[in-house]
Amino acid sequence: MTTSDKISLIDTNVLVYATDGTSPFHEAARNLRDKGLNGEVSLCICPQILNEFFAIVTSPKRVTNPRTQQEALEEV
Q: Do 46 and 40 touch, CB atoms closer than 8 A?
A: no
Q: For residue 38, give every residue at least 6 positions away whose Cβ sits within 8 Å of its Cβ, in sequence order, or none.
A: none
- pTM of the full predicted structure? 0.85
Q: How far is CA 41 from CA 36, 49, 66, in A?
A: 5, 18, 29
What is the per-residue DSSP string for 3-59? TT---EEPPHHHHHHHH-TTSTTHHHHHHHHHHHHTTSS-EE--HHHHHHHHHHHT-
pLDDT of residue 3: 52
pLDDT in tens, the chain (76 residues): 555 578 899 999 999 999 999 999 999 999 999 999 999 999 999 999 999 999 999 999 999 889 999 999 999 9
Domain ranges of the chain: 8-75
